[in-house]
Structure 1
C-alpha cells in the first residue's frame, strides 16, 4: 500500500487549469457540501463508476479545493490487497505528520475497527479534516471492514469528512453498505464537446469530432487518451485517423488496471463473454449456455462459473451474460493476448457448429484465423449474402468485413468491404459505413464495385451531408451500375431525384428522373425491352413524353412513381394523377419500407392526406418489423408530416420527437432537420415561442449547411405562422414574403404553396393588399389542381381577405362551406376567427360572437393555444365576457405582467419599461400582448384606466409590489 503525506490547501479553492472538470456540476456540488461542516447531511461520500469516468480527478479536485483544514490522501494498491491491515497502515503513515497523528512505530491501535475510528478523530484533533481513499475496493478485507465501520460512525457535525472512491461493480460490497453513494454517469454530449476542445491542441475537424465522441461514449479518460495519440494533422482532418481510434493500447491505459484485478481464469471468462458479444452486437448479451459450453473447450474448469467466482463486471440475468460497462467489454477482448483471443473464438465456433448455427459459427471460425484464408472468406461472404440465412444486417456487415480481411485479392477485398458498408448503411450505422468505404479505397476496380460504393456514399450524403453532392454521387452510381445492376441503378436515379427535391432544384430533379427512366428500360425482361426502346425512340408528344407512356398493368411501383413525379414537375397534372394513384394503390400490397415511402409521397402529392397517414403508419410498422433499421426515421418523418397536414398536431409532435431521436441515433442529420421543422410547425399553433425558435433554428442550421431548401422553408414557415398567431402581421409578412416569392430566391417549390394562405393573411392584416392579391392568383392554380383538400377553402378565405366589403361576406361563407366538406379543425377555426373579426368590425355582434365561440372551441380542441387567445380577446372586445368578471382581472396576470401593466399605466413607453425592468423591448412587447388578451382591452388608454380603477378600488391583491 502506498500512502501520500498530508496535504494542506491554499486559501484559494479554485482548482488549477489542468484539473478543470467538464459536465460534473452535480458531483462538484456534492463534494462542496461534503466540506461544509454545518450543512452536510452526511460526513461520508462514496464516488463510484466505470474506469475513466473521473473518480480520481474528482478526488484530486476535492483535496485541492479543501481550504479549511488538512487533507489525508491514500490510494488502494492491488499489490497489497492480500496483506492484512495494509490499508489502515497506509492511512496511519499519512497521518503521522499531523497533530494527533501517531508515528509509524507507535502501538498499532488502528488495526481494529474501533482503532481506525479513534485514529481519524484523534488526527483531526477537533479541526476540519478531509480523508480521501481512492480505489478503496483494492484495500485488504480487514482494512475495508474497518473503514466501513468507521465511516458509518462519523457524525455529521464532527470534524472528519471521508471521501471514498470504488469501482462501479464494488459499490454494493458489504463493506460499503449504508453509505451515501454518488454514481458517475458518462459525460453529456455538450460536456464531451467542451472537454475535446480543452484537450485538443488544434481546432478539431467536425468529422473527426463525431468519430472521437462516438468512440469515447462519454468516457473522459478514453477521450483524452485517444486525442493524445493523434497528431495535429489528424485532429484537423488533414490526415486520416488511425484505425481503430481506440486501439488496444488506448483501452489498456483506461481499463487495464481494472482488468488486472482478476485472476487468469476470471480473465478468460471475461474474454469468452466479450467474444460471444461480437456475433450478437445488438446488445442482448452473451448466451450463458454457449459460454458454459465454451469454457470447457478453452481448458478452464466449470467452477469458474460458480456464482461466487463470476467477476463483478458481469451480470447473469435471463440466461445471458452482460457486462456492466461497454468499455470493459471492449477492453476485455481487444487487450487480450492474440493467441488467447483466437482460442476463445475457436471454442465458441466449435460449440456453435455443433449446435447448427451457420453464420455466427463461421464468424467465430474466421476470427480465430490469423492469416489470409480465401476458402473461409468465400464461405463467409456467401453466407452473408444469402437472404435465406437468418442474420441481422450488423452481423452481415461484420461477416463481409471479416471476409475482406481474410481475402488476399485487392479487388475482391474492396468488393466485400463495399458490401459490408452497404449492410452497415442499412443497419443505420452511417459512420461504420464510411469507415468501411475508406478501407475499400478507390483503385482500379470494376464499374459495378465503384457503382455500389458511389451508391452507398450518395445515400450517406443524402441522409447526412450536402444534398447536391448526394445527387451527383447517386447519378454517378446510376451510370456505373446501369449495365450490370439496372435495378440498383434505377433506385440510384430515384434517390438522386430525392436529393434534388430536397434542394428545391426542379431542373436537377427532372434530370435525375430522366436518367432513371433510361435505366428503367433495362430492368424489364429482355423480350419486353424492344417495344419499350422503340417507343422511347419514337417522336415525343407535346408534353415531351413517349406516346406509350400511359398507366397500364406492366411498369410497377418504381416506374409508376418515376412517371408520376416527372409529370408533376412538368405541371402536367392530368397525366401525373393516374400514375401517382397507382403508386398509392401499390401500398396495400407492399411491405418494403422504401416502396411504401414512395406511396406515401405520392399520396401527399395527390392531397390524399388520410391515405398518407395510413401509409406512414404501415411504413413505420414495416421498418420496425423487417427493417432496414435506417428507414425508421424516414418512416416517422412521413407519418409526422402527414399528421401535421391533417391537423393532428399532438400526434405529429409525438412521432417527430421519436423521429428526431432515431435520426440522431442513426447519424441522419438531414432527416433530423425535417423532424425539427415538423416540431417547429406543431409548436407554432400553440403558445410555445421558445420551442418554435429552438426547432426552427436547429432545422435551419443543418438546412443551410447542407442545402436543404425544403426543410428551411418549412422552418421559416413555422416561424412566420408563430408571428401571425401572436398577432404580429407585419413581422409575419416580412418572414413569409420571401418564402412565397417565385424563382430561385423564393421558397421550396412544393412548400411555398402551403405557406401562401399564411402570407396572404399576414399581408392583408398588415395593409399590404396588393402584394397579397398577386399571391392569391397563383394560389388559385394550386387549389384547382386538388392536391390539398384544404386549399379550396383557404383560397376562398384569402379572396375574402383582399376583397371589397360587399364581396367578403359571401367569400367567408363559401370558405366555411368548403371547410365543412374538407374537415380539419385548425384551418376552419382560422377562417371563423377572421370572419368573426370582420363581422365585429361591422357591428354584426351577434353573428361575430357565434363565429368566434366556434373558433375558440375548435382551437382548444386541436391545442392551438396562441390562436385560442386571439379568439378570447375578440370575444372580450365583442362584449362576450361579463363586466363583473373584469373587476378582478388583474389577478389573472403574472407578477411580471403586472409590473409591466403598472409601468404602462404610469405612461412609460415599451423602451422605458424595458430599461426599468432590465428586460428586452421584445419581451415587453410579448407580455403586453398577453396583458391585452387577458384583460380584454384594446389600447394603452384602456389598460391605464383599468389598472387605475382596480388599484383605487382595492380589488387586486398585493402579490407584487410596484416597480421601483
Structure 2
C-alpha cells in the first residue's frame, strides 16, 4: 500500500482559520467568547480545533482545557465535564472527581471558568460535544452563552449539529472546494506523485469524485491504493476501498432511530439506484416498498412528512425524496449486510416490474421533468443490485434496454452495470467503452475516463480508441486526439460505419484546431458518407475544394450544404453548417446556424455539445460585430466547458472573450483572457485559439496607441514561416497588421515589395473568394494606409462606401478614425473633425471604450472639444497627439531619446521636440515624473 503523508496544513479553510484567529485575538485582549463548529463526519472539524489549541499553546497565552467526548459515557451524568476538568494543568478549586460524584450546576461552572481565566486567558475546547451527556452539555452551553467582554475565557466546541448549544455563534463547515481537495490529494500522494511515479489523471479524478470534498474520506481512499493503482498501471478496485470509518460515522448518527425508520432509509437508499444522479427517490415507489416490507403507516408518515422522523437524513420535495447528504446514502448501504441489500433491491425490482406507479414524469436534477417510458430499465437496474454474481442474461437485458430516448446518463449507468455482470471479457470491455461514451455525451468527462480505464488495454472494434480520442479532442493535445481517432476509424471501419464516420470527423476537427490543413484534408478524404446524408457529402467535398484552392467549386458545394442543412435536426450537422458559412464568409448564415444548434442542444442534448454550440455562436456574433452578445455567449460557454471538463474548448472561448475585450474592455481584460487562451493552446497545440488570442492582444495594443507592439505580434502570424497563424484565421488579422505597421512607421520601402505589401496582396486574393461583408471595406482601408498622399483620400472614401453598403459600426468607425487622423496630420483639421466625430459616436455606441478614447484624443488634437463618455474618461494623455502619446509611453518605459527614435522610425531631434511639448502639456518636469504619471494611470 502507498504511504500516505499526514497533511502539514489545513487546505481550503482560510475563512474558518481567520474566524478562529479573531476569537483568539479577542481572548488575548481580555475579551471572551464562544464558537460552535458544526460539521458532518470527516469534514475537518477536529483538525481546526487541534489547530486552535496548538496556536493558543504556542503563544503561551494561558491554560487550555480540552476534551473529546466518549460516546460510551453519554448516559453517565457530568462525565463530559469530568473529562474536561481532568485536563487542567494544575489543581482546581473544585476537584474533577467531586464533579463526577456530586455534579456541578451551570452557574457554578460559569464561576469556575471565570476564576481559571482571571490571571491568564483560558481556552476551553471540546470536540464531539454533541456526544456529551445531557447535563454536561447544558452546563457548558449555559456558561458559554454568558462569556463576553472581560471574561478572558473562550469556548470552542465541535459538534455534529448545534443541538444543545442554541444561542451560541455557529460556523458550519462545508466540504473542501475542488482546488483545496486537489491540493490535499497532492500532499497525500507526494511519494507516488514524484516524477517517476506520477498519479494518473483518471485515478486522481476518481479519488476526488468519490471523496466529495471530505478530507478524511479522501485520506482513507488514497491510503488504500497501491503505487501501481495510483499510477494507472493496475485497474482500480470497484468500489474503492478506504474511508470506511467516515461512512461508519455517518451511519452511526442514525443508529438510534427505530428499526422501521432504519429500514425505510435503506429502501430510500436502494431506490435511488436506478435514478439519475441527484434526482432522489420516487416517494410513491418508496411508500409501496415500505408497505410491502411491513412498515406501519404511522412510521411512514413520521419519516416522510417530518425531517425529525429520520433525524434530518431524508427530505421530501413534492413527489421526490432526497438524502440530506450523499454520504448518508452511501453510509446506509455500506452498513447493511450484502444479503440485506440484495433483498431490498429484489423487493424494489419486483415492484417496478409489476407496476408503473410513480415512474412517469421523473424530475431531473435541474428541475425539468421528462417522461421515462416503460419501467423495464429501472427494474433491471434493481435486479442487478440483487444479483449475487455474474449474470450474462441480465447483462444482455440491461444492454438491450439502454437505448434512446433514455438520457445518456441513464444509459451509461445501465451499460456499466451490464459490463460488471458480463461473463465474456470482450463484451465486458465493449460495454464499459459504450458506458464511457454515453457518460461523455452526458457531460462527465472525468467519469467517462474512469469507465474507459475499466474497458481494458485493447478492447475489440476500436470503441475505446474512439471515446479516448473524442475525450482528448476536448482535453488533450490535438495531435494525440487525431492519431487516436484515426486508429479508431481503422478498427471500426469493417463493421461500424456510423462510428467510423464520427471518428474521422473528430480527427478532421483535431487537425483544424492544430492548423494542419494537410492533416485535415487527409482525414476528410477517408470519410465515406452514407447515401442519404447528402449535406455531409457536400460539406466534405466543399471544404476540401476550398483548401485545395478550387474556390468556385468549393463555394457551390458549401452553399448547397447550407441550403440542405436548413432542414437538419442534428445539432452537429447545424454546427458543420455554421463552419461552412464562416468559410464562405456568410456571417449572417453562420449566426443563424449557431443559434439553431444551440437551441437544439438545449432541448435534446447532448450536454457535451453545449460548450461547442456556444463557442460557434459566440465566434459568429463576434465576426458580425455584435461583441456584447458574443461575450455573453462565450461566458456561458466557458462555464459549460469547465463543468463538462473541456479545457480545449475553454481555450477557444477565452480567445473569443479576448477579442471581445479588445473592442470593449481595454488592455487588462483582453490580456487576462488571451493569457488563459494561450496557456491552454500552447501545450495542446491549438493553433486557432493561439492565433485569435494573439490577434486580440494586438488589437488591444492598437486601441491603446501602441502600434509598434501590435505590428510585432501580428507580423509572424501573417507572414510565411514556422510561426504563421492558423490558415482559417490569419487573413482576419491582416487589416490590423497593416494599420499597426503604418502607424508604427514600419512600412515597406521601395517598389511595393515587402511584408506589408505581400500581406495586402494575399488579403486581396482572399477578398475575391469570401463573401464576408466587411472584407472589401477592409481591403480599401489597407490600400488607403499604403497609398501616396494623392490617392489616400479616394481609397478612404471607397472604404466608407463599402461600409455603408454592409453595415458594421465598429469596422466603419475604425476606417473613419484612420481617415480623420490622416486628414489632421495633413493640417486639414476642419475636414478631419467630421469623420473623427462620427468615429467617436460609433465607438461609444458599440461599447468600444478604448477606441472611443483614441478617437476623442484625435478629435481634441483637431481642435474640437469632446463631450460625453469619452470626455468623462479622458486623462491627461488624451490632450497629446497620438505621436506624443507614443513617445511619452516609450520614455516612461525607460527608453532613451535615441532608442525612442529607432523604435518609432523618427529622428532624435523630432523626439526631443515632442518630449518638450509633452512635459509642458502634462505639467511634469522630468522623465521620472512622467513614468510615475503613466504608471498611476495604467494601474
Q: Give the TM-score normalised by structure 1.
A: 0.84
Q: Is the 8 A contact 2:78 2:99 kept in 1?
A: no
Aligned-partner Cα distance in 2 for 1:156–1:205: 51
Q: Where does residue 179 of structure 2 map in the other structure?
A: 190
Equivalent residue in structure 2 for 1:58, among 48, 54, 73: 48
Q: Is the 8 A contact 2:31 2:153 kept in 1?
A: no
Aligned-partner Cα distance in 2 for 1:392–1:98: 68
Equivalent residue in structure 2 for 1:722, among 700, 711, 715: 700
Equivalent residue in structure 1 for 2:654, among 650, 670, 676: 676
Aligned-partner Cα distance in 2 for 1:569–1:891: 47
Q: Where does residue 570 of structure 1 map in the other structure?
A: 548
Aligned-partner Cα distance in 2 for 1:250–1:498: 42
Please state if 1:440 is matched with 2:415. Answer: no
Equivalent residue in structure 1 for 2:105, among 105, 112, 115: 112
Deviations 1:466-517 (A, max 9, x none): 212222222223233333222332232222211111111111111111100x
Deviations 1:786-839 (A, max 9, x none): 242211111111111111111111111111111122211211111111111101
Aligned-partner Cα distance in 2 for 1:880–1:950: 27
Aligned-partner Cα distance in 1 for 2:508–2:236: 36
Q: Where does residue 230 of structure 1 map in the other structure?
A: 225
Q: Is the 8 A contact 2:128 2:159 kept in 1?
A: yes
Q: Is the 8 A contact 1:109 1:115 kept in 2?
A: no
Aligned-partner Cα distance in 2 for 1:853–1:606: 34
Are the structure 2 counterparts of residues 285 and 710 from structure 1 closer, same or farther at C-alpha, using a change threshold of 3 Å? same
Q: Where does residue 318 of structure 1 map in the other structure?
A: 318
Structure 1 residue ranges without an equivalent (≥5): 1-15, 525-553, 895-900, 915-920, 926-936, 952-959
Report the aligned-residue RMSD: 3.4
The alpha carbon displacement at 1:592 in A equals 1.9
Q: Within 5 A, what are the aligned runs for 1:464-475? A: 464-475=475-486
Equivalent residue in structure 2 for 1:273, among 258, 268, 276: 268
Secondary structure, in 3 states, of the residue corresponding to 1:176? coil
Aligned-partner Cα distance in 2 for 1:750–1:211: 38
The alpha carbon displacement at 1:575 in A equals 1.0
Q: Is the 8 A contact 1:259 1:267 kept in 2?
A: no
Aligned-partner Cα distance in 2 for 1:433–1:845: 65
Are the structure 2 counterparts of residues 847 and 284 from structure 1 closer, same or farther at C-alpha, using a change threshold of 3 Å? farther
Once the two structures are overlaid, the 10-residue window that deviates more, 182-191 or 359-368, is 182-191
Aligned-partner Cα distance in 2 for 1:370–1:913: 79
Are the structure 2 counterparts of residues 205 and 820 from structure 1 closer, same or farther at C-alpha, using a change threshold of 3 Å? farther
Q: Where does residue 150 of structure 2 map in the other structure?
A: 157
Once the two structures are overlaid, the 10-residue window that deviates more, 200-209 or 731-740, is 200-209
Please state if 1:711 is matched with 2:689. Answer: yes
Equivalent residue in structure 1 for 2:472, among 461, 465, 475: 461
Q: Is the 8 A contact 2:66 2:124 kept in 1?
A: yes
Please state if 1:240 is matched with 2:234. Answer: yes
Q: Is the 8 A contact 2:667 2:704 kept in 1?
A: no
Q: Is the 8 A contact 2:7 2:184 kept in 1?
A: no
Q: Where does residue 26 of structure 1 map in the other structure?
A: 15
Q: Is the 8 A contact 2:625 2:808 kept in 1?
A: yes
The alpha carbon displacement at 1:394 in A equals 0.9
Q: Within 5 A, what are the aligned runs for 1:858-897? A: 858-881=842-865
The alpha carbon displacement at 1:614 in A equals 2.2
Equivalent residue in structure 2 for 1:485, among 470, 482, 496: 496
The alpha carbon displacement at 1:329 in A equals 3.1
Q: Is the 8 A contact 2:78 2:100 kept in 1?
A: no
Are the structure 2 counterparts of residues 622 and 243 from structure 1 closer, same or farther at C-alpha, using a change threshold of 3 Å? farther
Equivalent residue in structure 2 for 1:504, among 515, 518, 533: 515
Q: Where does residue 759 of structure 2 map in the other structure?
A: 775
The alpha carbon displacement at 1:840 in A equals 0.8
Secondary structure, in 3 states, of the residue corresponding to 1:280? coil
Runs of 4+ in 1 over 6 A off after TM superposition: 38-42, 888-891
Aligned-partner Cα distance in 2 for 1:643–1:282: 35
Q: Where does residue 381 of structure 1 map in the other structure?
A: 399
Aligned-partner Cα distance in 2 for 1:891–1:417: 62
Deviations 1:572-599 (A, max 9, x none): 1211122212322234322221111111
Once the two structures are overlaid, the 10-residue window that deviates more, 791-800 or 102-111, is 102-111
Are the structure 2 counterparts of residues 96 and 102 from structure 1 closer, same or farther at C-alpha, using a change threshold of 3 Å? farther
Please state if 1:340 is matched with 2:355. Answer: no
Q: Is the 8 A contact 1:34 1:40 kept in 2?
A: no
Q: Within 5 A, what are the aligned runs for 1:673-822? A: 673-742=651-720, 744-770=722-748, 771-822=755-806
Aligned-partner Cα distance in 2 for 1:724–1:473: 41
Aligned-partner Cα distance in 1 for 2:873–2:722: 50
Q: Where does residue 216 of structure 2 map in the other structure?
A: 221
Are the structure 2 counterparts of residues 854 and 561 from structure 1 closer, same or farther at C-alpha, using a change threshold of 3 Å? same
Equivalent residue in structure 2 for 1:910, among 866, 869, 892: 892
Are the structure 2 counterparts of residues 646 and 61 from structure 1 closer, same or farther at C-alpha, using a change threshold of 3 Å? same
Q: Where does residue 629 of structure 2 map in the other structure?
A: 651
Q: Where does residue 360 of structure 1 map in the other structure?
A: 378
Q: Within 5 A, what are the aligned runs for 1:822-837? A: 822-837=806-821
Once the two structures are overlaid, the 10-residue window that deviates more, 360-369 or 284-293, is 284-293
Please state if 1:395 is matched with 2:410. Answer: yes
The alpha carbon displacement at 1:56 in A equals 0.6
Aligned-partner Cα distance in 2 for 1:457–1:745: 29
Q: Is the 8 A contact 1:646 1:824 kept in 2?
A: yes
Q: Within 5 A, what are the aligned runs for 1:174-213? A: 175-199=164-188, 200-201=190-191, 202-203=193-194, 204-205=198-199, 207=201, 208-213=203-208
Aligned-partner Cα distance in 2 for 1:131–1:265: 40
Are the structure 2 counterparts of residues 799 and 909 from structure 1 closer, same or farther at C-alpha, using a change threshold of 3 Å? closer
Q: How many residue pairs get matched?
A: 862
Aligned-partner Cα distance in 2 for 1:28–1:701: 33
Are the structure 2 counterparts of residues 85 and 103 from structure 1 closer, same or farther at C-alpha, using a change threshold of 3 Å? closer
Equivalent residue in structure 2 for 1:131, among 116, 121, 124: 124
Aligned-partner Cα distance in 2 for 1:433–1:476: 19
Are the structure 2 counterparts of residues 854 and 320 from structure 1 closer, same or farther at C-alpha, using a change threshold of 3 Å? same
The alpha carbon displacement at 1:94 in A equals 3.0
Secondary structure, in 3 states, of the residue corresponding to 1:684? helix
Are the structure 2 counterparts of residues 92 and 757 from structure 1 closer, same or farther at C-alpha, using a change threshold of 3 Å? same
Are the structure 2 counterparts of residues 85 and 720 from structure 1 closer, same or farther at C-alpha, using a change threshold of 3 Å? same
Equivalent residue in structure 2 for 1:288, among 283, 287, 290: 283
Q: Where does residue 609 of structure 1 map in the other structure?
A: 587
Q: Where does residue 410 of structure 1 map in the other structure?
A: 425
Structure 2 residue ranges without an equivalent (≥5): 357-374, 749-754, 878-883, 904-911, 927-934
Aligned-partner Cα distance in 1 for 2:913–2:36: 61
Aligned-partner Cα distance in 2 for 1:28–1:717: 44
Are the structure 2 counterparts of residues 314 and 94 from structure 1 closer, same or farther at C-alpha, using a change threshold of 3 Å? farther
The alpha carbon displacement at 1:645 in A equals 0.9
Are the structure 2 counterparts of residues 872 and 891 from structure 1 closer, same or farther at C-alpha, using a change threshold of 3 Å? closer
Q: Is the 8 A contact 2:200 2:232 kept in 1?
A: no
Please state if 1:255 is matched with 2:244. Answer: no
Aligned-partner Cα distance in 2 for 1:833–1:41: 66
Please state if 1:635 is matched with 2:613. Answer: yes
Aligned-partner Cα distance in 2 for 1:182–1:319: 32
Q: Is the 8 A contact 1:100 1:124 kept in 2?
A: no
Q: Where does residue 371 of structure 1 map in the other structure?
A: 389
Q: Is the 8 A contact 1:95 1:101 kept in 2?
A: no
Aligned-partner Cα distance in 2 for 1:621–1:166: 48
Q: Where does residue 931 of structure 1 map in the other structure?
A: none
The alpha carbon displacement at 1:673 in A equals 1.1
Please state if 1:429 is matched with 2:444. Answer: yes
